[in-house]
Structure 1
Amino acid sequence: MEWLSIENVVAVGTSVLGILASLGMLLYDRRVPRRKLIGYRVQMDSLIGDGASSDPNPRLGEFDVPNMADASLVLLRIENDGSQSIAGGDYTSSEVHGLTAEFTGRTVQAVSVTQPSGIEHLNSHFTDVNGFEYDRNKVYIPRVPLNPGHHFKLLVLLSGGEVDSEVKLIGGLRDGRVHRNSAPQPDEKLRTFSLPARLVSGALTLAVLGLAGIILLRDGNPIECEQGELTVIGSTAFEPVVETLAEQYESKCAGADISVETRGSEDGVAELADLAGQSKNSARSVIAFSDGPMGERWNLEGRKVALSVFTLVVHQDVELGSHGLSLREVRDIYAGKYRRWGEIVPGVKEIADLPVVLVSRGDESGTRQIFQERVLKGWERAPSTSLDCTPPEPAGDTVTRCELASTKAVLAKVAEQPGAIGYSELTTAEERGDDVRRVPLDGNQPDDQQIELGVTHYPYKDIEYAYTHGTPRPGSLAASFLAYLGESSSQDVIRDKGHLPCLRDPELCE
């Protein structure tokens, strides 16, 4: 029987194992729903005061707190052990704070907060304004945003009561819950995986091995490859993503030729629209990427690909502090109201006479159009006065402003020209290192992680669109490449280049 080949047997067996594993996961998830979860555990509860001599496990050395009988230290770990991120708005408390830690029978004397390296921003939430305080036997904890796996710890000094008396974390989450995790004692062996977890893991492992066998044994490629030629035009801010994905696609799919020719969002979309009016067949082999929605006026079909974050940048000599610039200051700068940085940042002698140099993009730039729409709420009103962005000697009463053709050109000029200010896609600016300074707006940092968590009101961001002339025909290279954008590896590339993938989290791009 021809169908009884090794490949088909492996495929059928993998399908059966996948179905069984899926049913097992469904049954398991009915008992343990994958909700938003905050877990807490007591990692230490020890006597340290005058009453420490009554501890059944006596210490070596001296660590007594004078004049405080029955003093004790509790180390309480609070963590996101669910599968979803938790934002400040997810806490259901009607008070300013989000959670309450209660120490039964004891009185709180002092609290210290620690956090793991890499997520230093958590400490900024522990302020009086956010409800962080303690009273009697309770510590009130602010609405701290937590990514999956992130945690912080409270080191609490207590008096009175008994060691190992009850410690509770009180509070609620929208579509989730707060629960106590087990905390192993020093001599206790960590629990192994539960039997259901072992069974499901084993089944999924076999399924993965089966799929690997199919990939190794079958002919062809792991993606639906198509041959032909495709031209990608439009956004220079999204160019690093497109170039990387085009190279990856060509390496996996023999016979595919993808050219990347980015000259700006509006130029790209307009070029696709003009091509569609001349030759529909030629237009079907072109994709135009755009910072923000630009194709609707030409009846082009758009797909949301990513949320792009942009930033203002200044020359490294211009120090603006953690607050950066206010939106009003930015609007006045681009209206030509300021001639020198000393008028914007008074009292800093080093930049008092430094001329303000505006390094802009042309009208065709989506980065500029988003800047005007989201930040300026209008046009860049200062006229273009220079081709090379060099202010006159001596600087006069006219603000120097120039327009450059690409994001990389803007960054290079801002890094080179003292007093320069411009704008760029965030990751491309970060790759310049210390050559330029990224500018917060009204104290909100250009930070894609904070934007993803919903804990910032940073305004300079918009959706990246992929435009085509109509729906690409099935079996075409354009249709295949657009489908490739939704692959997990492609989504990782989009994120690595500093954008937030719409297909992975559609709510970000609403």
Structure 2
Amino acid sequence: MDWLTAENLIAVVTALLGVLVSTGAVWYERRVPHQRRVGYRVQLDTAIGNTAANGAPTGPGAVVRRGFFDASPDLSDATLVLLRIENDGALSITREHYTDGDDHGLTVEFGGRRHVKAVVVTAPDHPRLLSHFPDTWTGPAEGATSILLPKVPLNRGSHYKLLVLLAGGPIGSPVTVDGNIAEGHVHLNHSTTPDDKAPVFSRAARTVTVVLTVCVVALAAIIVREQEPPPIGCARGTLTVTGSTAFAPVVRELARKYEKDCEGATVVVEAHGSTAGIRALAEAGAKSAEGSPAVVALSDGRKPGGYPQLRESMVAVSLFTLVVHDGIPVDDLTLDEIRRVYRGEITNWSTLVPGLDQPVLLVSRDAGSGTREVFQRRVLGRNEPAHSSRDCEHADDPEAKVVRCELDSTEQVLATVARLPGAIGYTELRSGSGLKGLHRVAIDGRRPVLEELGESGYPYREIEFAYTWGEPPADSLTSSFLTYLNRGSGQDVVRTHGHLPCATPKGLRICGDG
């Protein structure tokens, strides 16, 4: 009986209880089929105008609440309603699961209130949900008594809210949401609040719960294994991520983590520049006969015009920086000095550093680079001078004012600036750390500091966009990886590489400002 140890006994008991629980769960799963469900509930219903305390119309002898909008006749009896709409079912909901036949998916009715004054979509579970509300969608027309909502795909647990300004009725009037869902339904749900009555467990249920918890805790104390759970919503297949070379280090690390967490998934990173990535996505989409191809293009800033089929989502705010060779004792340049250097008016560092006789060498990115496009738009205010050198050291054009070469990637720019005395270039912020032979340069005394984004006015920054061909299916690898990029550990990786995730409160504000 050597096997009869405390560890093995606890493991056997835990396993037996687990079998019983699993058997019960399987029985429940077979007995209760999975359904798609859209749940809704009113989280706020309050008067903001002159309204009787009991919700009845004002009149002689009524107790009246004094509202914020008493001076406006149209809003004297106004109310504010905050409505939460969510997927509280077991399955994801796509646009195709809304079966009303029109271009709207759900209808919100406000019984007893004459008309809707205004509506705002707010507090989405994920910023990408807002992209399903077209730019032309402004809610109902003036005087409408209902709201027609578009067909918004919702993963399990995803939600958004409507803040609605109403006029012409008392608070507490019924609010209903209707719509037809394939293999599912729309229903009124409830949240657990401190005022709700807690569920009552039977004595047997409490006993089983306590015993199972004690066994699990004891077994965990004996065998401690720290393991991060896999992310929710893993998908299988192969995904290609292309575009920005500046954001490529983030994507490569996330690809490794996703492949480790999600068995059966392969994420291939092919970074050749923002514009090249957009073109590759457009070509893949045009050739695809099965909807959205498994390709994501990342771009430093918005895509160029002429690609109406591409759908965008904001990923992060990226900081960029100028870098110079360590032999140039320059720590700060004004915008005017930078522009004079890139116009060819300053061709020797002696103009800025008296006594230093060293020609200026401009090491730039190719024309398809998003990093270069951001530099030209936000720092130079114009295009860079013409390409004049193939080796970045000697001018091929004797009439060129300054030696300037173009390279294919951020890594090539950094290596070349570190190798050539007098060289100056630009890079994404984190890529410049840990490299010898070069250093960052402040602009007008301001430095690229992630924590100071939005306050310092540092000019060389841009929003990183992710593009797909149309809207990928909610259960696709494309959708899953973008969710992984924008949540949880994905946000930590983005921060580690010197970017601010758009999905954070501060990032949401800065990304929204553009």
Class of the TM-score when normalised by the shorter of the 2 chains = 0.5 to 0.7
Structure 2: how far apart are the matches of 1:306 and 1:397? 38
1:449: Cα distance to partner?
Answer: 1.8
Pairs within 5 Å for 1:435-446? 435-446=437-448
Q: Could you tell me the TM-score, scaled by structure 1's length?
A: 0.54
Local SS of the residue matching 1:485 = helix
Specify the alignment match of 1:399 in structure 2.
Answer: 402
8 Å contact kept, 2:292–2:472: no
Pairs within 5 Å for 1:349-498? 349=355, 351=356, 353-380=357-384, 382-391=385-394, 398-432=401-435, 434-451=436-453, 454-498=454-498
8 Å contact kept, 2:234–2:480: yes
The answer to whether structure 1 residue 253 and structure 2 residue 248 are counterparts is: no
Structure 2: how far apart are the matches of 1:337 and 1:271? 38
Q: 1:267 aligns with which of 238, 255, 276?
A: 276
Task: Mark the CA change 1:303 to 1:7 in structure 2 (over 3 Å): closer, same or farther.
Answer: farther
Structure 2: how far apart are the matches of 1:489 and 1:8? 34
Specify the alignment match of 2:161 in structure 1.
Answer: none
Q: 1:240 aligns with which of 246, 249, 258?
A: 249
Structure 2: how far apart are the matches of 1:508 and 1:280? 38
Local SS of the residue matching 1:508 = helix
1:396: Cα distance to partner?
Answer: 8.7
Structure 2: how far apart are the matches of 1:337 and 1:248? 48
Structure 2: how far apart are the matches of 1:328 and 1:359? 19
Residue identity opposite 2:360 in structure 1: V
Specify the alignment match of 1:312 in structure 2.
Answer: 322
The Cα RMSD (Å) is 3.2
Q: Could you tell me the TM-score, scaled by structure 2's length?
A: 0.54
Structure 1: how far apart are the matches of 2:345 and 2:328? 18
Specify the alignment match of 1:336 in structure 2.
Answer: 344
1:364: Cα distance to partner?
Answer: 0.4
The answer to whether structure 1 residue 297 and structure 2 residue 306 are counterparts is: yes
1:487: Cα distance to partner?
Answer: 2.4
Structure 2: how far apart are the matches of 1:261 and 1:225? 22
Task: Mark the CA change 1:319 to 1:225 in structure 2 (over 3 Å): closer, same or farther.
Answer: same
Residue identity opposite 2:359 in structure 1: P
Structure 2: how far apart are the matches of 1:4 and 1:293? 55
Note the alpha carbon deviations across 1:314-363, whole angstroms, 9 max, x for none.
11011124xx11111111111111211112x142x2x2x20100000011
Note the alpha carbon deviations across 1:46-71, whole angstroms, 9 max, x for none.
xxxxxxxxxxxxxxxxxxxxxxxxxx
Structure 2: how far apart are the matches of 1:258 and 1:507? 30
8 Å contact kept, 1:326–1:441: yes
Structure 2: how far apart are the matches of 1:474 and 1:339? 54
Task: Mark the CA change 1:389 to 1:487 in structure 2 (over 3 Å): closer, same or farther.
Answer: same
- Deviating above 4 A after TM superposition, structure 1's stretches of 4 or more consecutive aligned residues are 6-9
1:437: Cα distance to partner?
Answer: 1.4
Q: 2:233 aligns with which of 224, 233, 245?
A: 224
Pairs within 5 Å for 1:58-69? none
Task: Mark the CA change 1:276 to 1:319 in structure 2 (over 3 Å): closer, same or farther.
Answer: same
Structure 1: how far apart are the matches of 2:24 and 2:334? 64
Note the alpha carbon deviations across 1:215-247, whole angstroms, 9 max, x for none.
99xxx9442111111100000000010001111
Q: Which 5+ residue runs of structure 2 have no aligned equivalent?
A: 1-17, 29-209
Structure 1: how far apart are the matches of 2:346 and 2:237? 53
Task: Mark the CA change 1:304 to 1:396 in structure 2 (over 3 Å): closer, same or farther.
Answer: same
1:480: Cα distance to partner?
Answer: 0.8
Local SS of the residue matching 1:472 = coil
Specify the alignment match of 1:509 in structure 2.
Answer: 511
Structure 2: how far apart are the matches of 1:497 and 1:397? 37
Structure 2: how far apart are the matches of 1:396 and 1:403? 18
Q: Percent identity?
A: 43
1:283: Cα distance to partner?
Answer: 5.0
8 Å contact kept, 2:487–2:503: no
8 Å contact kept, 1:221–1:253: yes
1:398: Cα distance to partner?
Answer: 3.3
8 Å contact kept, 1:316–1:436: yes
Residue identity opposite 1:444 in structure 2: R
Residue identity opposite 2:443 in structure 1: L
Local SS of the residue matching 1:467 = strand
8 Å contact kept, 2:358–2:422: yes
1:312: Cα distance to partner?
Answer: 0.5
Task: Mark the CA change 1:294 to 1:397 in structure 2 (over 3 Å): closer, same or farther.
Answer: closer
Local SS of the residue matching 2:254 = helix
Task: Mark the CA change 1:402 to 1:283 in structure 2 (over 3 Å): closer, same or farther.
Answer: farther
8 Å contact kept, 2:292–2:470: no
Residue identity opposite 1:226 in structure 2: A
Structure 2: how far apart are the matches of 1:358 and 1:310? 16
1:287: Cα distance to partner?
Answer: 0.3
Structure 1: how far apart are the matches of 2:234 and 2:326? 46
Structure 1: how far apart are the matches of 2:409 and 2:492? 25
Pairs within 5 Å for 1:95-244? 221-244=230-253
Structure 2: how far apart are the matches of 1:448 and 1:471? 31
Structure 2: how far apart are the matches of 1:329 and 1:294? 30
Equivalenced residues, count: 300
Structure 1: how far apart are the matches of 2:482 and 2:323? 32
The answer to whether structure 1 residue 5 and structure 2 residue 21 are counterparts is: yes
1:270: Cα distance to partner?
Answer: 1.4
Residue identity opposite 1:378 in structure 2: R
